[in-house]
């Protein structure tokens, strides 16, 4: 009988716990010991659910927790919360561990190491950024803290810094709580992963629910009371009074621990892995927000922090750790979000990204409806397709609309996955019935218009 091996997992959220669970499914406790160390109070939770908890759409914090520590322990996974990995010793095959509550440190040996350290929120190095009342939105504890402030301190004015998905969702959550909400972003549009024309539709929707937008205004600092509580957010143009500030400036891979140990990271700052989620260090694996992956349209490395990728990558690592074979092929950059009743989706490259990747592009924007125009539930939907000139290959797509609009991005993502041309897409056999689509689905109309544009562009001789 082979000696019992030891898998040490750093990070107990989506990627780490998926890997641990998959490895356990394939190798029992007598074959493989699994230890997971997690810095926080919770494992395996839905960070994407935080805005819904803050806004009150989801009332019970436990609902965001997929599995409790006890459930993992019952499956033979030794999950240790409030335990931080502070150093990796690759040559020694060990990790230095600190108990955050008790304070002691010791070395834990491993045969295989799984790094799933997630992402760190980007916090501006600005005067006053450490004031009380300035909150990030990263871990479940952030959501708990913000909700407690909302319920106990009854703040009146909130300022959200950053107009990405989390920023917009948090702005909505605080509108739902009855606050006056302003949103500040250095960029000229919210939702910078969309092109400006599509971002403008989102901006209008945000204004429509009562959010004051201050775009093109970098934050220069935060004012605080003598007691150290935030009182205002300062931009170059104005001072916005604030009882509560939420930072939604995005995240970067939390790869420092790995990098310090000599595990290779790439141009995005994420850990480099192959398709099986192996790093370049022997028997060291990584998955989730801390790694970089391949964008299947541009071919470039990207770091995209998203629970769905973390789950898939963690599962792939776990299958391989368990003696199976699985691969994570890369991403096409799909994302969806809902702000009040406005649905937003994107996949592939936007115009700026496509240009940066060296593509010559053309774009079409189509206004249509989610259902047959005569059906009472028909809602407006704007679809944008970005195609390569000459070849007509689909490079990206963006959707802004109402009910039932955004999930159409899935079909577009699969078309991208296969390198379809917009002309080929005009023939796709998509579901049609009046409650679901006009007889020409918006995706098909957009494909037709894009195919026509490719043809016209070709003939124009420019």
Catalytic residues: 48
Contacts of 418 (CB under 8 A, 6+ apart): none
209 binds its own copies (CB under 8 A): no
Per CB under 8 A, the segment of 3-11, 71-79, 384-392, 409-417 that binds its own copies is: 409-417
Contacts of 169 (CB under 8 A, 6+ apart): 51, 337, 339
Print the binding letters for residues 410-429 with its own copies: x by CB under 8 A, - otherwise. Answer: xx-xxx-xx-----x-xxxx
Q: How many angstroms separate the Cα of 228 from the Cα of each of 17, 128, 224, 390? A: 38, 9, 5, 59
Least distance between its own copies and beta carbon 203 (Å): 19
Pick the binder of its own copies from 73, 238, 329, 355 (CB under 8 A).
329
Classified as helix, coil or strand, 396 is strand
- Please give the Cα distance from 462 to 459 (Å, whole number): 8
363 binds its own copies (CB under 8 A): no
- Rounded CA Rg of the chain: 24
Residues 138-167 that bind its own copies (CB under 8 A): 165
The CB density around residue 27, as the number of other CB atoms within 10 Å, is 21
Pick the binder of its own copies from 32, 160, 194, 437 (CB under 8 A).
437
Please say whether the beta carbons of 243 and 178 come within 8 A: no
247 binds its own copies (CB under 8 A): no
Nearer to its own copies, 355 or 433 (CB): 433
Please say whether the beta carbons of 185 and 167 come within 8 A: yes
Pick the binder of its own copies from 116, 191, 443, 450 (CB under 8 A).
443
458 binds its own copies (CB under 8 A): no
Least distance between its own copies and beta carbon 346 (Å): 9
Q: Taking Cα atoms as reference points, which of 60, 53, 47 lies closest to residue 17? A: 47
Cα 84-41-176 angle, rounded to 5 deg: 130
Nearer to its own copies, 35 or 445 (CB): 445
Residue in this structure with the two tokens 């892995």, named with its chain if needed: 273
Q: Do the strands 293-294 and 284-286 form a parallel or antiparallel pair, or are they unpaired?
A: unpaired
Least distance between its own copies and beta carbon 345 (Å): 6
Overall size of the chain counted in residues: 462
Per CB under 8 A, the segment of 142-150, 204-212, 247-255, 300-308 that binds its own copies is: 300-308
- Please give the Cα distance from 461 to 353 (Å, whole number): 25
Nearer to its own copies, 214 or 338 (CB): 338
User: What backbone torsions phi and psi does residue 34 show, to the nearest 5 degrees?
Assistant: -125, 120
Least distance between its own copies and beta carbon 403 (Å): 9
299 binds its own copies (CB under 8 A): no
Classified as helix, coil or strand, 374 is coil
Nearer to its own copies, 90 or 372 (CB): 372
440 binds its own copies (CB under 8 A): yes
Least distance between its own copies and beta carbon 53 (Å): 9
DSSP 39-69: SSS-SSB-GGGHHHHHHTSS--GGGGBSS-H
285 binds its own copies (CB under 8 A): no
430 binds its own copies (CB under 8 A): yes
Pick the binder of its own copies from 266, 333, 392, 396 (CB under 8 A).
333
Least distance between its own copies and beta carbon 54 (Å): 13
Q: Taking Cα atoms as reference points, which of 328, 333, 334 lies closest to residue 285? A: 328
- Please give the Cα distance from 146 to 380 (Å, whole number): 34
374 binds its own copies (CB under 8 A): yes
Please say whether the beta carbons of 210 and 175 come within 8 A: yes
Print the binding letters for residues 38-77 with its own copies: x by CB under 8 A, - otherwise. Answer: --------x-xx--x----xx-x--xx-------------
Per CB under 8 A, the segment of 149-157, 192-200, 235-243, 374-382 that binds its own copies is: 374-382
Least distance between its own copies and beta carbon 339 (Å): 10
117 binds its own copies (CB under 8 A): no
Least distance between its own copies and beta carbon 325 (Å): 10
Pick the binder of its own copies from 225, 237, 239, 327 (CB under 8 A).
327
- Please give the Cα distance from 126 to 113 (Å, whole number): 37
Q: Which long-range contacts (CB under 8 A, 24 or more apart) does 129-133 make?
A: 129/221, 129/222, 131/222, 131/224, 131/228, 131/229, 131/230, 131/245, 132/224, 132/227, 132/228, 132/229, 132/230, 133/229, 133/230, 133/242, 133/243, 133/244, 133/245
13 binds its own copies (CB under 8 A): no
Nearer to its own copies, 195 or 441 (CB): 441
Structure tokens, 256: 């420092």
Q: Where along the sequence are the contacts to its own copies (CB under 8 A)? A: 14, 46, 48-49, 52, 57-58, 60, 63-64, 165, 296, 306-309, 311-312, 327-329, 331-338, 343, 345, 347, 372-376, 404, 406-411, 413-415, 417-418, 424, 426-437, 439-441, 443-444
């Amino acid at each position: 009988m082979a000696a019992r091996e030891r898998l040490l997992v750093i990070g107990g959220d989506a990627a780490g716990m998926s890997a641990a669970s998959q490895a356990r499914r394939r190798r029992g406790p007598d074959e493989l010991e699994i230890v997971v160390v997690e810095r926080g109070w919770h494992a395996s939770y839905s960070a994407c659910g935080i805005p819904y908890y803050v806004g009150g759409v989801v009332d019970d914090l436990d609902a965001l927790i997929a599995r409790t520590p006890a459930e993992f322990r019952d499956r033979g996974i030794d999950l240790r919360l409030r335990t931080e990995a502070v150093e990796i010793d690759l040559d020694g095959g060990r990790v230095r561990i600190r108990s955050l509550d008790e304070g002691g440190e010791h070395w834990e040996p491993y045969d295989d190491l799984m790094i799933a350290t997630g992402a760190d929120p980007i916090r501006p190095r600005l005067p006053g950024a450490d004031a009380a009342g300035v909150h990030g939105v990263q871990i479940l504890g952030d959501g708990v803290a913000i909700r407690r402030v909302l319920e106990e301190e009854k703040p009146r004015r909130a300022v959200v810094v950053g107009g990405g998905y989390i920023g917009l969702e948090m702005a909505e959550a605080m509108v739902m709580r009855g606050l006056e909400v302003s949103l500040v972003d250095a960029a000229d549009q919210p939702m910078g992963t969309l092109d400006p024309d599509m971002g403008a539709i989102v901006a209008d929707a945000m204004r429509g629910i009562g959010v004051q937008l201050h775009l093109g205004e970098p934050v220069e600092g935060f004012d605080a009371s003598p007691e150290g509580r935030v009182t205002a957010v300062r931009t170059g143009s104005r001072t916005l009074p604030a009882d509560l500030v939420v930072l939604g400036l995005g995240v970067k891979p939390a790869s420092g621990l790995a990098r310090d140990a000599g595990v290779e990271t790439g141009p995005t700052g994420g850990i480099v892995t192959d398709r099986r989620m192996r790093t370049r260090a022997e028997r060291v694996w990584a998955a989730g927000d801390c790694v970089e992956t391949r964008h299947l349209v541009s071919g470039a490395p990207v770091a995209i922090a998203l629970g769905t990728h973390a789950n898939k990558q963690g599962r792939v690592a776990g299958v391989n750790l368990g003696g199976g074979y699985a691969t994570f092929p890369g991403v096409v950059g799909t994302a969806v979000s809902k702000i009040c009743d406005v649905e937003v989706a994107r996949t592939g490259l936007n115009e700026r990204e496509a240009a940066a990747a060296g593509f010559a592009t053309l774009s079409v924007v189509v206004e249509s409806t989610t259902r047959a125009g005569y059906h009472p539930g028909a809602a407006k939907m704007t679809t944008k397709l970005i195609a390569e000139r000459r070849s007509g290959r689909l490079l990206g797509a963006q959707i802004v609309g109402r009910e039932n609009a955004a999930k159409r991005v899935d079909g577009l993502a699969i078309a991208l996955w296969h390198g379809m041309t917009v002309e080929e897409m005009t023939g796709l056999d998509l579901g049609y019935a009046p409650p679901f689509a006009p007889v020409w689905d918006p995706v098909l109309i957009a494909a037709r218009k894009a195919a026509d544009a490719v043809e016209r562009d070709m003939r124009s001789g420019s």
